[in-house]
Amino acid sequence: MKKIVLVLIVFVFFNSCSKNDTLQFGTIKGKVKISPELGINNYTPYLVSVWLETSQIVAITDSAGNYSLLNIPEGTYNIKAQDYLNEYNLIEGKISNITVNGGETVTASDIILTPVNNNVNNFYFNNLEITDSTGYSQYLYPYQDLVVSSSNIKLTGYAKKNYNYYLDTVVSIQINENDIIKVNTSKGWFSQDIILNTSKNDIKVWIGEDENNSNNSSLFETTLVYLNNIQSVNVELNWESDYYSISAGDFDIHLINNNTNDSCWYNNTNPDWGIEDFSYDDPVLYDYTNAYGNSYGSEQLRIYSAANGAYTLKVYYFSNHQSGSTKVTPYISLYLNNSYQTFYAPEAMSVGDTWTVTVINVPFEKSAISINKIEHLSTNYLPKKK
């Protein structure tokens, strides 16, 4: 034991003597490479910064990735190197414990560059768009309902693994629950013809071949709506009185879905009819203010494209907000796609009367048949105002 301690003391003594005598300098040479796991074959580590940790000594690589760190005081060092694959992707490498002796040149092991943020935003899409048969293009946005005019469309975009600037990848596309389509990218770009179902199409696009789509970081979801046969409904309700013009009275549109017996009216202005969670077949009721600023003005009801079925249109005379006249004759303008009809109540109505105007059949095989029947204070089936 005593012997070992003595040897150590002698070693320290000689070592410190030589340092104090003259400061010695050496050189470190080496090479910077990119990790082969990234699959980036044509990366050139040219003008990459290389430096000694805990010193100001820096070098820049030549076009073969070689560097020389000069005039390094004797000692042991860590060496770092950094470069950018592109504006987003910093790559970095480090080697440790390289010892330099005075007057010598050390050849260090290669510095291997890998992405700094390997786990952050690994994947990304750009310029995802669809083009229909007429050449009309629209960009896609996540969780959007986008209406397209044909069932055959082209889906194009740019897809990359973030750190992998050069390597092409595979994009997987799934429409509703159909088979997954796999398409190779070319310099990141891909293009695929797809066929849509009528109405709603849930689109999923992700980077990679993973069937289970477990890597959700790359998942892009949106909805494309193809309506091959638009059945638009537009109802406008107006009325006049013999005394106070349109301010007299408050009439309400009731459009009843005969399949479900649900009514769209001012207290149920936007029910989900037809396909669930799909807005294009839902009615929307607009209750306008009148010339006096009251909310009981004219009313309008629209369906972008109604689901097949029968819809009964009624008008209810809720109340007369004016003193004076109570007898009022409302009228309906009905647009079924481009065909237009006007219906007048067959007689002036009193408060509490219900006018059954027509039944609208979808698809529109013919114009809506007028029923034009008024029931006087006899109906309790229409919802009451709260």
DSSP letter assigned to residue 186: B
**8 A C-beta contact, residue 53 and residue 76:** no
**8 A C-beta contact, residue 144 and residue 129:** no
Pick from 26, 65, 274, 283: which binds Ca ion (CB under 5 A)?
274
Query: In angstroms, rounded to a whole number, what is the distance separating the alpha carbons of residues 288 and 167?
Result: 58
User: Taking CB under 5 A as the criterion, which residues in 281-300 touch Ca ion?
Assistant: 281-282, 296
Pick from 201, 252, 256, 330: which binds Ca ion (CB under 5 A)?
252
Q: Does 250 bind Ca ion (CB under 5 A)?
A: yes
For Ca ion, the closer of residues 91 and 253 by Cβ is 253
For Ca ion, the closer of residues 31 and 254 by Cβ is 254
User: Strand, helix or coil at 273?
Assistant: coil
Query: In angstroms, rounded to a whole number, what is the distance separating the alpha carbons of residues 284 and 277?
Result: 14
Pick from 209, 210, 211, 272: which binds Ca ion (CB under 5 A)?
272
Q: What residues contact residue 312 under an 8 Å CB cut-off, 6+ apart?
A: 255, 256, 258, 356, 358, 359, 360
Query: In angstroms, rounded to a whole number, what is the distance separating the alpha carbons of residues 213 and 193?
Result: 21
Q: With CB under 5 A as the contact rule, which of the stretches 134-142, 146-154, 273-281, 333-341 interacts with Ca ion?
A: 273-281
Helix (H) or strand (E) holding 2: helix 2-21
Other Cβ atoms less than 10 A from the Cβ of 61: the count is 22
For Ca ion, the closer of residues 252 and 353 by Cβ is 252
Q: With CB under 5 A as the contact rule, which of the stretches 34-42, 49-57, 118-126, 270-278 interacts with Ca ion?
A: 270-278
Q: Does 145 bind Ca ion (CB under 5 A)?
A: no
Q: With CB under 5 A as the contact rule, which of the stretches 71-79, 254-262, 276-284, 335-343 interacts with Ca ion?
A: 276-284
- Give the distance, in angstroms, between the CA of residue 240 and the centroid of all CA atoms in the same chain: 47
Query: In angstroms, rounded to a whole number, what is the distance separating the alpha carbons of residues 158 and 164?
Result: 13
Nearest distance in Å: CB 237, Ca ion:
8
Pick from 278, 286, 331, 364: which binds Ca ion (CB under 5 A)?
278
Nearest distance in Å: CB 325, Ca ion:
17
Q: With CB under 5 A as the contact rule, which of the stretches 181-189, 206-214, 278-286, 370-378 interacts with Ca ion?
A: 278-286
User: How many residues are listed for the chain in this entry?
Assistant: 386
Other Cβ atoms less than 10 A from the Cβ of 340: the count is 11
Count residues binding Ca ion (CB under 5 A): 9
For Ca ion, the closer of residues 81 and 225 by Cβ is 225
Q: With CB under 5 A as the contact rule, which of the stretches 83-91, 119-127, 196-204, 251-259 interacts with Ca ion?
A: 251-259
For Ca ion, the closer of residues 105 and 294 by Cβ is 294
Nearest distance in Å: CB 343, Ca ion:
17
Q: Does 236 bind Ca ion (CB under 5 A)?
A: no
**8 A C-beta contact, residue 237 and residue 332:** yes
Query: In angstroms, rounded to a whole number, what is the distance separating the alpha carbons of residues 163 and 38?
Result: 8
Q: Applying CB under 5 A, which residues contact Ca ion? A: 250, 252, 272, 274-275, 278, 281-282, 296
